[in-house]
Structure 1
Amino acid sequence: MNKISVEDLVQQFSLKVLAGQDHLQKSITQPRVHRPGLEFVGHFDFFPTERIQILGRKEINFLHKQTKEERKIRIGNIVHYHPPCFIVTTGEDGLTYLRHHCNEEGIPLLVTEIPETTSEYITKLDTYLINKLAEETFIHGVCLNVFGMGILLRGDSGVGKSETAHTLIGRGHRLVADDIVKLKKLSPQTLLGTHDEKTKEFLALRSIGLINVVRSYGLKAFQNETRISLDIKLTRWQKDSLNNELEQHPEFKEYLGVKVPSIEIQLQPGRDVAGLIEAAANNWYLRQQGYSAASDFMNRIEEEGT
């Protein structure tokens, strides 16, 4: 399970620490935050205790209107569950009582210093947490962004993945990762491809060696991450094994429980593999829009026969 510390959060978002300074190494393991509401009135049946607790204007105004004894009860009920931290988005005025509870229970109390609405902050924080805490795995291959779509290139060592990627970069597409591709599961349907930092911007070409695509071709040649749309396996040419049907039956490759459409492209001297990958990307996009070239073709045949 991936995790980050409260201190990581403080540094990433430039948060001010009001209480619990000695407990900033507490772990955060849940990818979404929680904004307590029902918990303040004693309903804890579905309280996500392992999530960051966000206190916005509504929550702080509600607490300010309570008597000292009522606040003690309502806040005490929540801190009793020891969430990883509280983040207040309305400034630090009048939070003495909250500091006291957080110091007593060893819970970091943080305050945002950049003016923005609570909903905007929650969206930004959720996005960061989902990315950082996502389940991940590594595969051997190349990841590219082709026409705005994330493409995974797989195949045996030496089959020509990196050389094909180099050709695609020359045609204006972008490298994301070469050799080691990190895959992150952002949701049951969303897979993100990125690099492992060490190989960032590098492409390894046989007979040439390592090249830095940004130094060689400019910033447009590299992209930090991309949502994976298509998996392509490059294989060596096998005579009479190619399928010539009008439309291929959909096949899928599964990563971290996410199914990705997958096709196979065979390599042969003189075959424009980069062009075929571009065609596959365009074809996938059209299918997402509901268009099938094979169906369009058959409709024309039927119309001609009537």
Structure 2
Amino acid sequence: MKSITVKELVDRFSLEVLAGGEQLHREITKTRVHRPGLEFVGYFEYFPQAEVQLLGRREITYLHRLSEDERNHHIGNIVKYHPPCFIVSRNQEGLKYLIKYCEEENIPLLRTPLATTKFLDLVNGYLSKTLAEEIAIHGVCVNVSGIGVLLRGKSGVGKSETAHTLIRRGHRLVADDLVVLKRINPETLLGTHNGKTKEFLALRSIGLINVSRLYGRSAFQDETRIVLDIELKKWEQDALNNELELEPKFTEYLDVKIPHIEIQLQPGRDVAGLVEAAANSWYLRQQGYSAAEEFMKRLENG
């Protein structure tokens, strides 16, 4: 199971450490942040104790209004579960009672100046990506007009050269040779690089190029949602399918199904243009449009 330490969270979001500074090595394994509400009134049946606990204005105001005995009772009930850490938003003050309990139980108590909902979105996004299940595959990842495309095929088939042509047409490189795929949720697969290959594209007979230096910063982006899996294959005579609408095929990565198509290669064939067409066609289908259906309607209407 992937994890990060509380210290990594502190460093990433410049959090102030109010208590439990010697416990920043504690691990965070869950991708969501929890705002305790029902727990403050004694309901713990579904308490996600392994999640980071975020205390916003609503929670802190409630605690401030309790008597000292009530406050100690409610906080005591939560800290005994030893969540990874508590984070207080909006730089709220008057936290002596929280500091006392966190020090006693060796739980990091942190604080951020950010508003609760904004911080919640930022941390959930960060944890989802950082702790996501991932695999690395051989291929090239590009973003074509905002659409994430995975290019696969045997070594030397022309994946990087196709990506280079797409970049020259205004599209963006995400990763070359080694693509890291992260499962953000059951329907979302994220493609990114491994850090070492960032911005680099390897072209046979040319060598490595840095696309950002060569074509500008707009030629590269760190990550993209993968929505198309395109396999480049050598030309096979009489193997092309010319039906009006092909039966959908899928490739599965980390239990996420991605639409799959094959593009055969032949000298003079505009492979980059076909990738653009595939991406744009996918987009239109998401909008409910089918060229084949429109064509059939025209035939029916004479």
Q: Which band: TM-score by shorter chain?
A: over 0.9
Residue in 1 aligned with 2:254?
Answer: 256
2:61 counterpart of 1:61:
yes
Distance 2:267 2:93 in 1: 71
Q: Secondary structure at the match of 1:31?
A: coil
Question: Which residue does 1:160 correspond to in 2?
Answer: 158
Spell out, residue by residue over 1:130-151, the C-alpha distance to the aligned partner (whole angstroms, 9 max, x if none): 1111111111000000011000
Matched, 1:96 2:96: yes
Which residue does the alignment assign to 1:176? Answer: 174
Alpha-carbon separation, structure 2, partners of 1:180 and 1:81: 41
Q: After the TM superposition, which segments of 4 or more aligned residues of structure 1 sit over 6 Å from their partners?
A: none
- Whole-Å separation in 2 of the counterparts to 1:58 and 1:147: 42
Q: CA deviation at 1:117?
A: 2.3
Q: Counterpart amino acid of 1:104? A: E
1:124 corresponding residue in structure 2:
122
User: Matches of 1:276 and 1:298 in 2, distance apart?
Assistant: 23
Q: Residue 2 in 1 paired to residue 5 in 2? A: no
Aligned-pair distance for 1:183?
0.6
- 1:209-266 Cα deviation digits (max 9, x unpaired): 1111111111111111111110000000010011010111110000111100010000
Q: What is the letter of the counterpart of residue 218 of structure 2? A: K
Work out the CA distance in 2 between the residues paired with 1:288 and 1:128. 28
1:200-279 map, 5 Å: 200-279=198-277
| TM-score, structure 1 as length reference | 0.97
* Residues 173-201 of structure 1 deviation map (CA, whole Å, 9 limit, x = unaligned): 10000000001111111111000000000
How many angstroms does 1:90 deviate by? 3.6
SS at match of 2:34: coil
Identity of aligned residues (%): 65
| Structure 2 SS opposite 1:227 | strand
Q: Structure 1's 92 and 117: CA in aligned 2 closer, same or farther, altered over 3 A?
A: closer
Aligned pair count?
Answer: 302
SS of residue matched to 1:275: helix
Q: Supply the AA of the counterpart residue of 2:128.
A: I
- What is the identity, as a one-letter code, of the residue corresponding to 1:11? D
- Within 5 Å, give how 1:43-82 maps onto structure 2: 43-82=43-82
1:41 aligns with 2:61: no
> Residue 33 of structure 2: SS of its match in structure 1?
coil
Report the counterpart of residue 19 of structure 1 in structure 2. Answer: 19
Do the aligned partners of residues 182 and 65 (structure 1) sit closer, same or farther apart at CA in structure 2, a change above 3 Å counting? same
Question: How has the CA–CA distance of structure 1 residues 58 and 277 changed in structure 2, closer, same or farther, with 3 Å as cutoff?
Answer: same
Question: Which ranges in structure 1 are unaligned for 5 or more consecutive residues?
Answer: none
For the pair 1:30 / 2:30, whether they are aligned, the reply is yes
SS at match of 2:301: helix
1:38 is aligned with what amino acid?
A: L
What letter corresponds to residue 103 of structure 2 in structure 1? N
Partner Cα distance (1:90, 1:250) in 2: 49
Select between 154-163 and 116-125 the one with higher mean Cα deviation: 116-125
> Could you tell me which amino acid in structure 2 is paired with residue 216 of structure 1?
L
CA distance in 1, matches of 2:93, 2:193: 43
User: Which of residues 276, 279, 290 in structure 2 aligns to 1:292?
Assistant: 290
The answer to which of 74-83 and 125-134 deviates more is 125-134
CA distance in 2, matches of 1:252, 1:111: 45
> In the alignment, what sits opposite 1:283?
281
Name the CA distance, whole Å, in 1 between partners of 2:61 and 2:215. Answer: 54
Match of 1:85 in 2: 85
CA distance in 1, matches of 2:118, 2:76: 28
Aligned to 1:141: 139
Q: Out of 54-63 and 24-33, give the one that drifted further.
A: 54-63
Residue aligned with 1:198, SS: coil
Q: Distance in 1 between matches of 2:121 and 2:18?
A: 23
SS at 2:162's partner residue?
A: helix
Unaligned runs of 5+ in 2: none
CA displacement at 1:92 relative to structure 2: 4.8
